[in-house]
Chain A
Amino acid sequence: MTADNQDDACTLLLGRVAAGERGALAELFKIEAGRLVAVARRIVRRADLAEEAVQEAFVTIWRKATLFDPGRGSGRVWMTTIVRNRALNMIRDGQRMEFVEPQTLAALGDAGGEADLAYEALPAASDLRRCLDQLEPVRRRSIVLAYVGGFTHGEIAGRLKAPIGTVKAWIRRGVIALQECMS
Chain B
Amino acid sequence: MSREERMARAGDYVLGLMDEKERTRAERDMEIDAEFRDCVIHLAERFHAFDKDVAPAEVPGDMWQTVAARIADMPQMTAADIARERLDLTTLQAPDPSRKGILQLKRPYAHQFAGWRGGLIAACLIGALGVGYLSGQAMGPAPEPVVVVVLADEDNAPGAFVEAYGNDAVRIVPLVDFEVPQGKTLEVWTLYDRDVGPVSLGTFGRSTEITLQGPDQPMPQPQQLYEITLEDAPGSPVGRPTGPILVKGLAVRPPR
The answer on a CB contact under 8 Å between A179 and B64 is no
The answer on a CB contact under 8 Å between B82 and A64 is yes
Contacts of A14 in B (CB 8 A): none
B103 at the interface (CB under 8 A from A): no
> B interface, by DSSP: helix, strand, loop or mixed?
helix
| Residue in A42, A54, A55, A179 whose beta carbon sits within 8 Å of that of B11 in the complex | A179
The residue of chain A having its C-beta at the shortest distance from the C-beta of B44 within the complex is A77
A73 at the interface (CB under 8 A from B): yes
The answer on a CB contact under 8 Å between A66 and B16 is no
A140 at the interface (CB under 8 A from B): no
The answer on a CB contact under 8 Å between A67 and B15 is no
The answer on a CB contact under 8 Å between B15 and A147 is yes
Chain A's interface size range is 35 or more
The answer on a CB contact under 8 Å between B50 and A122 is yes
B53 at the interface (CB under 8 A from A): yes
Interface string of B65-82 (1 = CB under 8 A from A): 011101100101111001
Known: A29-B67, A38-B55, A62-B76. A72 touches B41 (CB 8 A): yes
B39 at the interface (CB under 8 A from A): yes
Number of A-B residue pairs at CB separation under 8 A: 158
Smallest CB separation, B187 vs chain A (Å): 27
A47 to B63, CA, bound (A): 13
The answer on a CB contact under 8 Å between A37 and B59 is yes
Known: A55-B63, A176-B4. A25 touches B56 (CB 8 A): no
The residue of chain B having its C-beta at the shortest distance from the C-beta of A153 within the complex is B17
| Residue in B11, B14, B77 whose beta carbon sits within 8 Å of that of A64 in the complex | B77
Minimum-distance CB pairs A-B, first 7? A34-B56, A175-B11, A37-B57, A38-B57, A146-B15, A38-B54, A128-B49
Listed in ascending order, the chain A residues whose CB lies under 8 Å from chain B are: 3, 6, 18, 20, 22, 25-26, 29-30, 33-35, 37-39, 41-43, 47, 50-51, 54-55, 58-59, 62-67, 72-74, 76-77, 80-81, 84-85, 88-89, 92, 118, 121-123, 126-129, 143, 146-148, 150, 152-153, 171-172, 174-176, 178-180, 182-183
